[in-house]
Amino acid sequence: MTSVERVPEDQIVVEGLTGDAAIAHALKQCDLDVLAAYPITPQTIIVEDYQKFAANGEVDAKVIPVESEHSAMSACVGASAVGARVATASASAGLALMWEVLYCASGMRMPIVFTVANRALSAPINIHNDWSDTYGARDSGFIQIYCQSGQEAYDTTIMAFKIAEDHDVLLPIIVAIDGFILSHNVERVEMLPTEAVHKFLGKRVPFIALDPTKPITMGPLALTDYYFEFKQQQIDAINAVPDVFKKVEAEFEKMTGRKYGMFETYKTEDADIILFTHSSPGGTAKAVVDALREQGEKVGVLRLRMFRPFPAKEIAEAVKHAKAVVVFEKCLSFGAPANPLAMEVRTALYDLEKRPMVTDFVIGLGGRDVPPTTIVEGYEKTKEYLKKGKAPFFETLGVRK
């Protein structure tokens, strides 16, 4: 356990940064050994900025400008296997191209930090935000944390290494921000002195590594007699995340005064209806709640951060008193009874004696704007459904029908 101290105010550098740049600056300070990445909108600024730091000798990492995202994640696995601290970045089609290797990264227990600017999947091709890319990787064994602000993205990227590299975890981790909405918008970001970040993270201590002094075989063929056992190990590993996350965040709070939790609750204590979403709609939902509260509505927001592992028990505890939970999500699971986020919420609440109604609204696909009125519409519909005592499995909002 490292002993971190509160960083004095005068050592903090404040800059206006895009979400991507905030992540790039965090990566710069995390003492990476290897970064392997391929450009894709809207993540590209992360790679560009990091390459600029490298070109100016501001980082000690080897940067591998790979020929595809598949190779990006593959090079990360190779480097991580040697014991290196490793990161990459991608979005949308790039993440989809990595998909095969995502499972290798988690199955081989490589603590790679993967920053994502969430973007819709083709077709039609679209460069704007929704969550189809990382939700598509929800079963890949990656930890997934979604951020609402540039500051949060900066802070979470730093913490991500410490969570992933913990020997109780040893899993890769996705830190996601909304493409364009956050990736390209400039916000005020407080940056820590690099020495403080180094001290906070320490060096990566590999649990096991490719080293000619002690030869091992990594990534063998495991068949019916052993494959399942390694999956069971992964269950233990991802289940260990909440405790490690809390420990890491507590230390981070000591250093910065900031903490975020696995999710944020906003005016939920007495709320009858709780809006449930993450990333940028989380901010919109909080603004909507402030306005509705002024009209006397008892409404709050649960803004999720950690989608994997899904903090089901804690969420059930946080919303069990409500009459309804209104899920807003930017992803479709075609043909499913509900969509990825709502399915998680419904599962989390199923065992409650008195279950809140769960409504599911798919919003913002392909970057469709999500104005406060969209959130209000979902809220009003849910009130109607509560009166009726019945709601559809899901609906889309903001689409011309």
Residues of this chain that bind other proteins (CB under 8 A): 33-34, 36, 60-62, 64-68, 70-72, 74-84, 86, 100-101, 104, 107-109, 170, 203, 207-208, 210-213, 215-223, 225-226, 228-230, 232-233, 236
Task: Please identify, using beta-carbon distances, which residue of 8 and 212 lies nearer to other proteins.
Answer: 212
Task: Please identify, using beta-carbon distances, which residue of 74 and 268 lies nearer to other proteins.
Answer: 74
Number of other residues whose CB lies within 10 A of the CB of residue 184: 17
Task: Please identify, using beta-carbon distances, which residue of 224 and 295 lies nearer to other proteins.
Answer: 224
The answer to whether the Cα torsion of 40, 99, 27, 145 is positive or negative is positive
Task: Please identify, using beta-carbon distances, which residue of 14 and 221 lies nearer to other proteins.
Answer: 221
Q: How far apart are CA 135 and CA 71, in angstroms?
A: 21
DSSP 94-139: HHHHHHHHHHHHHHTT---EEEEEE-PPSSS---S--SHHHHHTTT
Backbone angles phi, psi at 34, to 5 degrees: -140, 135
Which residues, including other chains, have CB under 8 Å from residue 120's CB and lie 6 or more apart? 92, 126, 127, 128, 129, 130, 132, 133, 365, 366, 367
Backbone angles phi, psi at 189, to 5 degrees: -130, 130
**Would you say 159 and 249 are in contact if contact means Cβ atoms under 8 Å apart?**
yes
> Closest approach of Cβ 169 to other proteins, in Å?
11
Torsion angle, CA of 79/55/119/364, rounded to 10 degrees?
Answer: 140
Radius of gyration of the chain (CA): 21
> Closest approach of Cβ 32 to other proteins, in Å?
8
> Closest approach of Cβ 249 to other proteins, in Å?
25
> Closest approach of Cβ 112 to other proteins, in Å?
10
Task: Please identify, using beta-carbon distances, which residue of 19 and 107 lies nearer to other proteins.
Answer: 107
**Would you say 370 and 281 are in contact if contact means Cβ atoms under 8 Å apart?**
yes
Task: Please identify, using beta-carbon distances, which residue of 34 and 343 lies nearer to other proteins.
Answer: 34
Tokens in use for 8?
């004095």
Q: What is the DSSP letter of 181?
A: T
Q: How far apart are CA 78 and CA 58, in angstroms?
A: 24
Task: Please identify, using beta-carbon distances, which residue of 20 and 166 lies nearer to other proteins.
Answer: 166
> Closest approach of Cβ 171 to other proteins, in Å?
10
Task: Please identify, using beta-carbon distances, which residue of 102 and 363 lies nearer to other proteins.
Answer: 102
DSSP E strand stretches across 247-322: 263-266, 273-278, 299-304, 306-308
